[in-house]
Amino acid sequence: MVIQSFVQLHGGIWFYPNSKQVSLIGIQSIRELRLRQRPPKSSRVFWVFEYGNSDYKVQDFGDLFACNREKVADYLRAHGIDVDLNNLIPTKAEGREPSRGARPNW
């Protein structure tokens, strides 16, 4: 579910449901980071929510969200939020291993 004040995703399975919610209040931009995994054509998708106060939140919404992320991005853009998709993080095999816990440098 996406509304102007937050993004919320309900997932899991019937006996172990989960819910993730990220506030959009004070949001400056959203950047998507994709980390390649095995098998070769698969990747893990993270969204980095950047706020005007220099704070940020990294969220992994999972596969169901990744399949529908374009629609979510279009909705957010229509409401004036800068959303940048498809930023691939180079892997160790490509010459650079992403540092763990480091803030992304745009």
pLDDT for the residue 29: 93
Instruction: Give 53-90 pLDDT, tens digit per residue.
Output: 889 999 887 777 777 889 889 989 998 999 998 777 76
Query: Could you tell me which CATH class the domain 2-94 is placed in?
Result: mainly beta
Q: Is the pTM of this model over 0.85?
A: no
Better-predicted residue by pLDDT, 10 or 7: 7
Which ranges in 4-84 belong to alpha helices (H)? 63-67, 69-78
> What are the boundaries of each domain within the chain?
2-94
Residue with tokens 């529908």: 68
Is the CB of residue 104 less than 8 Å from the CB of residue 48? yes
Residue linked to tokens 């220099």: 54
**Which DSSP category does 98 fall into?**
P
The 3-class SS string of 9-33 reads: EEEEECCEEEEEEEECCCEEEEEEE
